[in-house]
Chains A and B, each alone.
Chain A
Amino acid sequence: MDAQFDRLHEAISASQAYCAAMHACSPTLPPWLHPASVVDRSDLERFAAEMHVGADETFVDFGCGNGAAGLWIAERTGASLIGVDVSRAAIAAAKTIARRRRLSSRSRFIVADAAATGLPGGNADALMSLDVLMFMEPRAAVREMRRLLKPQGIAVMRTVESLAEPFLPTLVRDYRPIFRDEQFTIVHDEHLPDHRGP
């Protein structure tokens, strides 16, 4: 799976046609932002608002891909970003984008498994995860989210739930009990009308 994500991110980074397709579908995105799933500006604004982070605060982008979504939020909010992804190609792309956006001093990107990031616990004010949780072993990922967050820290996610027999081994039918089992309080949950995931 890791090699597959590397190939995916290498292709995304090297392709103008991919960017053109993304921006044809999400015309409000800044031209430098081309994530691995369909996101528009209002999605990013919503993530930023729900995380409530500002200057001198830190958020984690859990499964950050090429980091662009988290960097856009860091740029807009003044917060610091730690991006984590299992793909070396994705993290290399994220570091490049951070340099171009002059955000290297406020961002850090690491290659790590979501279940064991190696980051110190209890340091993150907030955490985001955009269209990647469905590829992670769910209980281990949620447990690591809890470990990374400060008490009262907020996790904001968009992911996919299965309505039938899962076609990925990591897909689940309902994430909410998993978060409750890890002592999270569900602040908001909403099934979205337009499917954007895999």
Chain B
Amino acid sequence: MSDFYAALVQRADTLYAELGSGADILLDEARAGLGRALLSPPRVRDIYLVAQR
């Protein structure tokens, strides 16, 4: 996910050109995500779950 956040931040100028202030929600989340990715130990983990009714 941090690669994706970094790819978004690298495109910040293009995002602002496309979306104006609408880019803020994408870039704020990307920057927050990059910050969270540096936390040690991590605060979350991904789980893949299959459940049957």
Contacts and interface: CB of A to CB of B under 8 A. Distances in A.
A146 interface: yes
A11 B44 contact: no
Contacts of A196: 1, 46
B50 interface: yes
B19 A189 contact: no
Interface string A16-57: 111011101100000000000110000000100010000000
Nearest to B12: A17
A52 to B, nearest CB: 10
Interface residues of A, number: 58
Nearest to A147: B53
A118 interface: no
A161 interface: yes
A155 B46 contact: no
A21 B33 CA distance: 15
B26 A15 contact: yes
Contact of A153 (B15, B29, B48, B52): B52
Contacts, number: 154
Interface in B31-53: 33, 36-37, 41-53
Contacts of A149: 53
Interface residues of B, number: 32
A198 interface: yes
Given A175-B47, A195-B45, A25 B7 contact: yes
A188 interface: yes
Contacts of A150: 53
A17 B44 contact: no
Contacts of A175: 47, 49
Interface of B: 1, 3-4, 7-8, 10-11, 14-15, 18-19, 22-23, 25-26, 29, 33, 36-37, 41-53
Interface of A: 4, 7-8, 10-12, 14-18, 20-22, 24-25, 37-38, 46, 50, 146, 149-165, 167, 171, 175-176, 179, 183-192, 194-198
21 contacts: A7-B25, A8-B25, A8-B29, A17-B15, A18-B8, A21-B4, A21-B7, A38-B4, A151-B53, A154-B50, A156-B49, A157-B50, A159-B46, A163-B42, A163-B43, A165-B43, A171-B44, A175-B47, A185-B52, A190-B47, A191-B46
